[in-house]
Structure 1
């Protein structure tokens, strides 16, 4: 095994864990698997992170840079939001890893927080009216449904669809929810 500094060891553990959590999910990744990929003793994983769950929470983060959405006209927001979410390379892997691990209370909490901050808040911040919060939450649920169909279920028809067509059609559905009637 290679001898490293504490910081280098932590980074190797993070890197190995991120890769394995993305590939295999939380439950099918063991501390031994992580240690083997990082070429360290399994005890070091626990020493540096406390538990597999804490390491998972440390590595599985998801944020969306919504700066490109700030100047989007309200009537185009639905389509641009869906386009932005589907273009994020990390979105699928992190989302699936969190869903697979959502039986663990802390991971479920992280999934809930990501739902709130990545899907609800960016939409809510652009809405007005007495039902703005409800509309933002419905829009987030619709986007979550798309993620589920594409990545959890693996709907072959949706996966084979033209990505631009998906963005246009799903964006229109989202737009109907966020534009007051």
Structure 2
């Protein structure tokens, strides 16, 4: 993975955060998780800050304090910027395995898939168009820009499609056999599938001259 610079005044990786800051970050994470959960189950017009607050176990004024109004909160939820940064944080030759691992670990440890919410765009009318536009710009086009060789856009979209299929089976269909496997076993099996799309088809050998 690429190195991430740390601001000079930020605590190091092993340093404990002050309790207030730690609690605030946990609260924000709970609110975002609740908003994602509801976004996958209700039309945007039916979503309320009160429902998000109840799902997160906090008060509605606290949601407003951290995220502002409903549109600001769901604009954050409908962005793939942060998730895509982590999802694509590996060298091209290792990206297939990294993407598979990241999806599985995200679902198991955080209960949130980094890209699967694009599947619920049809629920949200015009806001679904925003979700699609964000997904194209922040996930598939960003991935395509990292690929060399022919048809990078097609290869990126096929790789992400394979990843979405894994997310659906693991997180929505909840395939029992798949969920029982250790993460690295799934990575070993499915990572090469995603990587094959990223790499693209091998060049075809030149055809033999006629008459041979």
Bin the TM-score by the shorter chain. Answer: 0.5 to 0.7
Ranked by relative contact order (alpha carbons within 8 Å, sequence separation 6 or more), the top structure is: 1
User: Where do 1:1-181 residues align within 5 Å?
Assistant: 17-25=31-39, 27=42, 30-34=48-52, 37-38=58-59, 40=61, 48-49=68-69, 52-62=70-80, 63-66=83-86, 68-69=89-90, 72=91, 74=93, 76-88=94-106, 92=112, 95=115, 99-100=119-120, 102-117=122-137, 119-179=139-199, 180-181=201-202
**Cα root mean square deviation, aligned:** 3.8
Unaligned runs of 5+ in 1: 1-10
Unaligned runs of 5+ in 2: 1-24, 203-212
* TM-score normalised per structure 2: 0.57
Q: How many correspondences in the alignment?
A: 162
Q: 1:23 to 1:84 in 2, by over 3 A?
A: closer
Q: 1:160 to 1:54 in 2, by over 3 A?
A: same
User: Rg: which structure is higher?
Assistant: 2
* TM-score normalised per structure 1: 0.65
